[in-house]
Amino acid sequence: MFLRATTRKKDGKEHRYFSVVENRRAHDGRVVQRHVLYLGEINSSQELAWRRSIQVLEEGEKQPRTLSLFAEDRCEGVVPDGSIVRLRLSQLSLRRPRQWGGCWLALQVWRLLQLDSFWTEKLPPSRKGTRWDQVLTILAVYRLLSPGSEWRLHRQWYAGSALADLLGMEQALDIHTLYACHDVLLQHKAALFDHLIGRWRDLFNATFDVLLYDLTSTYFEIDPPLDEQSKRQFGYSRDHRPDCVQVVIALIVTPQGFPVAYEVLAGNTQDKATLKDFLARIESQYGKARRIWLMDRGVPTEETLEQMRTSDPPVQYVVGTPKGRLTQLERALLEKPWRQARPEVRVKLLTQDQELYVFAESQQRIAKERGIRRRKLRWLWHRLKQISAMQKLTREDLLMKLGAAQSKVPAAWRLVTVEMAQQGASFGYWLNRKKLREVRRREGRYLLRTNLTESDPSKLWEYYLQLVAVEEAFKTLKGDLSIRPVFHQLEKRIDAHLFISFLAYCLHVTLGHQLKGLAPGLTTRSALEKFSAMQMIDVHIPTADGRELTLTRYTQPEPELQLLLEKLKLTLPEQPPPKISAAQAASTTPV
């Protein structure tokens, strides 16, 4: 195995992506390369660490040897003894293949965070003996590995996983138990985040003095509720589903992606109405401290920012500003000199009303935003040309086609003037050069405001760039963990569904940080997919005296997975001990 680098140019910037590949000889003598692990973009020290690991693995391999295999049922010369079991190998059968590796890895992360002991204390068994802590473990692992509905978990996924073997539970899982588990979780929400913050401090030396705050929404594919007090309301949809009711999720994370708190709000909640309560909640739960809040424009109001500046101790912030404020300060900023923050980023600093305004210009962002704008404008221009050449269009059809083009590229549409004829189905269009000049002047340029005394422009710019962490958290929740759409109708179970999703996100981000330190370049999803290739299977071998020997075994890891185990410093458990019992009818079809 060796590292292979590929180079790709994207938005005017050159990127190098690395993969671990191995050579294999095909039947016709050709040498072909097989992709083993995709690492993405890694730095030079991470590249060296992978090369060393691969070299050690290759040096440790031995030359292949030819082994002689003998059937185990040939015992002609064996003296009869009660301890000898004669096996009928010709009747060997393989039953119940199930996913083992991903479940085992998820449980390793669960125990690393000591969530097993935490939930054992918080969720004692019911009077009927139901282990709520184990049911919650199943729900969280399911959300991490293969998110879906509780009905799918009950009918399909649980039986195809090895969680029952790993947790020592029964094979059957009642659907009502899954729903009932949702009802006992929310009262432990604050205690859970206190516990997790302590574990992340111990494991990764995480700090929580810089907090990122943002909001998103998730929708429901059900009928709107009749109760006006329900959290499920119509509102501004960030999922582009204005036809569905939704709830708003407010989230606070650190720049490393560790969640500190979240709240589920009504779907018609305005962004600017949420920050004040969250400031009080964080102060109440974690005490007063000097924290830096990073927020995008539209979240804080002027009243809230004033409250943050005058509190004791002052709450520091770095926040984006609406474009209208840039217009107001444009004349004052023209007089300020440029200062270099990074090789391709320069800034201007303006002090005004106990705040510092930072006007930043990034060459990479200019190239990226300009490329996106040109591509969309080119598409729109081509589409308008197509529509203008269409024959036999009615006026209504023409308006529909123009409306469809506008909805697809609204930003580019604002740069083009379209004028309909007074009668008939014809129109004219031309480029609005004045608006185009304004847009070009704003591309890749941002105005930030802060009450920090920090005057280093590179530090202030770096703070604002960390907002991408909260966007990544939302992307993970909506993509990898599939929190949308929601089908629950009881409000407490809606909140519990999102609680379990955040619990799965905590596993996701913890595994991601382990990979970042020990196996850089690998994502959490790619690691889970690699481990999910390991299966568990039951080997059934009848004996000559009418009994049956059962060997429950997980498959051996492939070389690339063995390499990943070594990088993560994980050791696979011992195989389960064999069992011998009276023969029973197979519950599944032998493979």
Nearest to 371 by CA among 476, 472, 443: 443
Same domain? For 428 and 555 the reply is: no
Compute the mean pLDDT over every residue in the chain, rounded to the nearest whole number: 82
Instruction: Could you list the beta-strand ranges (E) of 409-509.
Output: 416-420, 427-431, 445-450
- Verify cis geometry, omega within 30 degrees of 0, for the bond prior to 313: yes
8-state DSSP, 423: S
Nearest to 514 by CA among 134, 176, 204: 204
Residue-level pLDDT at 301: 82
Same domain? For 438 and 553 the reply is: no
Residue-level pLDDT at 469: 82
| Cβ neighbours for 42, distance < 8 A, ≥ 6 positions apart | 18, 50, 520, 521
Q: Does residue 428 register a pLDDT over 70?
A: yes
Task: Return the ∠ at Cα 206 (arms to 200 and 208), rounded to 5°.
Answer: 105
Same domain? For 338 and 450 the reply is: yes
Give the number of residues written for the chain.
591
Same domain? For 413 and 543 the reply is: no
Residue-level pLDDT at 431: 93
Total domains in the chain come to 3
Confidence at 62, pLDDT banded by 50, 70, 90:
very low
7 is a domain residue: yes
Confidence at 54, pLDDT banded by 50, 70, 90:
low
Among 272-276, 397-401, 441-445, the range of highest mean pLDDT: 397-401
Per-residue pLDDT tens over the stretch 103-124: 999 999 999 999 999 999 999 9
Distance CA 146, CA 520 (A): 24
End-of-domain residue from the set 415, 437, 459: 459
Question: Whole-model pTM?
Answer: 0.80
CA torsion angle for 274, 277, 278, 281 (degrees, to 10)?
-160
| Cβ neighbours for 416, distance < 8 A, ≥ 6 positions apart | 377, 380, 381, 384, 429, 430, 431, 432
End-of-domain residue from the set 441, 459, 477: 459
Same domain? For 433 and 540 the reply is: no
Residue 37 domain boundaries: 2-59
421 is a domain residue: yes
428 is a domain residue: yes
Q: Does residue 35 register a pLDDT over 80?
A: no
Counting Cα atoms < 13 Å in the Cβ hemisphere of 344 gives 8
End-of-domain residue from the set 459, 474, 502: 459
Q: Does residue 191 register a pLDDT over 90?
A: yes
Distance CA 398, CA 551 (A): 70
Same domain? For 452 and 574 the reply is: no
144-148: Cβ within 8 A, 24+ apart: 144/106, 144/481, 144/504, 144/507, 144/508, 144/528, 145/99, 145/102, 145/103, 145/106, 145/528, 145/532, 147/480, 147/481, 147/482, 147/483, 147/501, 147/504, 148/482
Same domain? For 331 and 446 the reply is: yes
Same domain? For 540 and 426 the reply is: no
Residue-level pLDDT at 52: 59
Q: Are 25 and 33 in contact (CB under 8 A)?
A: no
Same domain? For 451 and 345 the reply is: yes
Per-residue pLDDT tens over the stretch 196-242: 999 999 999 988 888 888 888 888 887 787 777 888 888 888 888 88
267 is a domain residue: no
Quick one: average pLDDT of 523-545?
88
| 339-342 and 416-420 beta bridge pairing | unpaired
Confidence at 55, pLDDT banded by 50, 70, 90:
low
Quick one: average pLDDT of 407-434?
90
43 is a domain residue: yes
